[in-house]
């Protein structure tokens, strides 16, 4: 068989070139980046479940959560409502980083927040009036008058228990001089009616079933005559007024304005809660709590008038300018996807594009460096030739060895096709220096 044409052999492409290896490496990096992006897209774009810790099953906090749930459901988020004994237990649950609880209600004045809690206030959502009902025939308007009595003070883990202990303590009432009974609201009501308690603390809105039962009973409601002084000592509480005839205009009940103290219900979350969910909770809170009631005007809640926990950055933005732009005009799932995924990918893609643009320049610099090495060697050799008008035979032989070495190195340079003109330009330069060596050899022989 005839042998292959050598000219054709020279024109055949090298099976594996450096350019091809660089291309494969760049493609691998690009595919890895795209794979990472695909993974982040496949991963859920946002949480669809929030675990909230509330309070007793029939309590005010539970009622709030049950009103939030359908509002969140409209945006595809399920509110998982978990009961508790109250504010103190909610705080313990939330500050545990390993717990499943993400959001909860905490009553102002019932905890001593620490910097390490990693909790944040989403909003103050409602006043929680504190009621003291008693059986005494005489009027009671100072807690000190209950010294030596049997007083119901709430259940362990509840905010009411903490607040009642503090208020009684200011009036000189302790377990040493008074029987303080830890009991829940239904049992306290029963004991007041049966005579096994003389007074009891309760907490809740006036329209709550327990408060309605108490207000329409024969029990007396205490008006805090020392409210201003107590609020000064206990700044987490507020002075509020339950107006005359609020229970019944027909019966003129109560027959005078009643001064009460009120804690503030705080919606608190772990600082790891996704910002998009914070905005949803703020919308729900605004829908549920913005109405007027006995103690606040329309739109007074929710607000950020609290200093117990650091306020969420999202809450500050929400109360200044409302929801973020994307969440105002896009469905929640789409806005969350854009914010959490694409906005994360943008800087990554910018870096990737920058790297891909820099790669050709780095490659070109590396190729040019090979030619620079050859030209430097030629320049040094040519300078030596010009500086030696009468070379020896040994010098001429050395020059010839050097020029052949440079020529061999140039022949071994593998570059993309567009750089071939640089290869032959170097070859031409090598020819020029080789000619000068030949001229020097001719002078030596002449």
pLDDT digit string, tens, across residues 76-104? 899 999 999 999 999 999 999 999 999 99
Q: What is the pLDDT of residues 310-339, one digit of tens each?
A: 999 889 988 988 776 556 655 655 555 555
Q: What is the pLDDT of residues 253-300, one digit of tens each?
A: 999 999 999 999 999 999 999 888 898 999 999 999 998 777 888 889
Q: Which residue has the higher pLDDT, 210 or 36?
A: 210
200 vs 85: CA distance, rounded Å: 18
25 vs 359: CA distance, rounded Å: 11
Weakest mean pLDDT among 4-8, 206-210, 264-268: 4-8
Tell me the average pLDDT across 57-83.
Answer: 93
Give backbone dihedrals phi and psi of 126, rounded to 5 degrees, phi first.
-170, 150
> Encoding tokens for residue 349?
């893609």
> Encoding tokens for residue 407?
């020529």
- Band (pLDDT 50/70/90 cuts) for residue 375 is confident
Q: Which residue has the higher pLDDT, 424 or 341?
A: 424
Residue 240 has a CB neighbour count (10 Å cut-off) of 19
Question: How high is the pLDDT of residue 393?
Answer: 86
397 vs 301: CA distance, rounded Å: 98
CATH 3.40.190.10 placement within the chain: 49-323
Give the rounded distance of the alpha carbon of 37 from its chain centre. 20
87 vs 93: CA distance, rounded Å: 10
Report the run of H or E that residue 239 belongs to, with start and end: strand 238-242
Tell me the average pLDDT across 219-229.
Answer: 97
Chain mean pLDDT for the chain: 84
Question: How high is the pLDDT of residue 184?
Answer: 93
Does pTM top 0.85 for this prediction?
A: no
Tell me the average pLDDT across 122-148.
Answer: 95
Question: How high is the pLDDT of residue 336?
Answer: 57
29 vs 49: CA distance, rounded Å: 36
Q: What is the pLDDT of residues 382-425, one digit of tens each?
A: 888 888 888 888 888 888 888 888 888 888 877 778 778 888 88
Q: Is 342's pLDDT higher than 70? A: no
- Band (pLDDT 50/70/90 cuts) for residue 368 is confident
Give the rounded distance of the alpha carbon of 215 from its chain centre. 44
Q: Which fold has domain 49-323?
A: D-Maltodextrin-Binding Protein; domain 2 (3.40.190)
Among 219, 184, 180, CA closest to 202? 184
Question: How high is the pLDDT of residue 344?
Answer: 58
Helix (H, G, I), strand (E, B) or coil at 386: helix
Residue 425 has a CB neighbour count (10 Å cut-off) of 12
- Band (pLDDT 50/70/90 cuts) for residue 343 is low
From residue 329, how far is each of 38, 75, 322, 332, 334 by CA, in Å?
26, 13, 12, 9, 10
Residues 304, 308, 314, 320: what is their CA dihedral angle, to the nearest 10 degrees? Answer: 20
End-to-end Cα separation, the chain, in angstroms? 52
């Amino acid at each position: 068989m005839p042998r292959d044409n050598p000219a054709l052999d020279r024109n055949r492409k090298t099976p594996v070139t450096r350019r091809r290896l660089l291309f494969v490496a760049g493609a691998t990096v690009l595919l890895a980046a795209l794979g990472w992006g695909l993974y982040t897209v496949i991963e859920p774009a946002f949480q669809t479940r929030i675990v909230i810790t509330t309070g007793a099953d029939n309590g005010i906090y539970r009622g709030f959560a049950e009103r939030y749930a359908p509002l969140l459901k409209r945006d595809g988020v399920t509110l998982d409502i978990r009961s508790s004994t109250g504010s103190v237990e909610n705080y313990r649950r939330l500050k545990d980083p390993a717990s499943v609880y993400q959001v909860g209600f905490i009553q102002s004045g019932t905890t001593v927040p620490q910097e390490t809690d990693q909790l944040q206030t989403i909003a103050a959502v409602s006043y929680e009036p504190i009621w003291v009902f008693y059986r005494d025939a005489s009027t009671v308007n100072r807690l000190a008058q209950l010294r030596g009595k049997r007083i119901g003070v709430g259940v362990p883990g509840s905010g009411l228990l903490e607040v009642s202990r503090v208020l009684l303590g200011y009036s000189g009432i302790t377990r040493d001089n008074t029987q303080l009974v830890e009991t829940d609201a239904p049992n306290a009501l029963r004991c007041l009616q049966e005579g096994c308690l003389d007074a009891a603390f309760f907490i809740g809105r006036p329209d709550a079933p327990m408060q309605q039962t108490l207000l329409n009973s024969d029990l007396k409601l205490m008006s805090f005559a020392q409210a201003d002084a107590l609020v000064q000592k206990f700044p987490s509480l507020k002075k509020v007024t339950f107006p005359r005839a609020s229970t019944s205009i027909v019966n003129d009940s109560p027959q005078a304005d009643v001064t009460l103290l009120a804690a503030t219900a705080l919606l608190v979350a772990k600082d790891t809660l996704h910002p998009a969910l914070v905005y949803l909770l703020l919308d729900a809170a605004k829908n549920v709590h913005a109405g007027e009631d006995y103690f606040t005007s329309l739109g007074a809640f929710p607000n950020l008038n609290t200093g117990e926990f650091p306020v969420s950055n999202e809450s500050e933005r929400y109360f200044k300018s409302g929801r973020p732009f994307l969440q105002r005009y896009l469905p929640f799932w789409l806005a969350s996807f854009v914010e959490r995924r694409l906005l994360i990918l943008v800087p990554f893609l910018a870096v990737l594009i920058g790297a891909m643009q820099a790669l050709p320049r780095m490659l070109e610099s590396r190729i040019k460096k090979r030619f620079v090495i050859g030209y430097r060697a030629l320049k040094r050799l040519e300078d030596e030739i010009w500086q030696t008008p009468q070379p020896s035979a040994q010098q001429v032989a050395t020059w010839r060895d050097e020029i052949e070495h440079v020529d061999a190195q140039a022949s071994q340079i593998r570059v993309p096709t567009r750089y071939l003109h640089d290869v032959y330009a170097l070859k031409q330069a090598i020819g020029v220096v080789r000619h000068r060596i030949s001229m020097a050899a001719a002078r030596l022989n002449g």
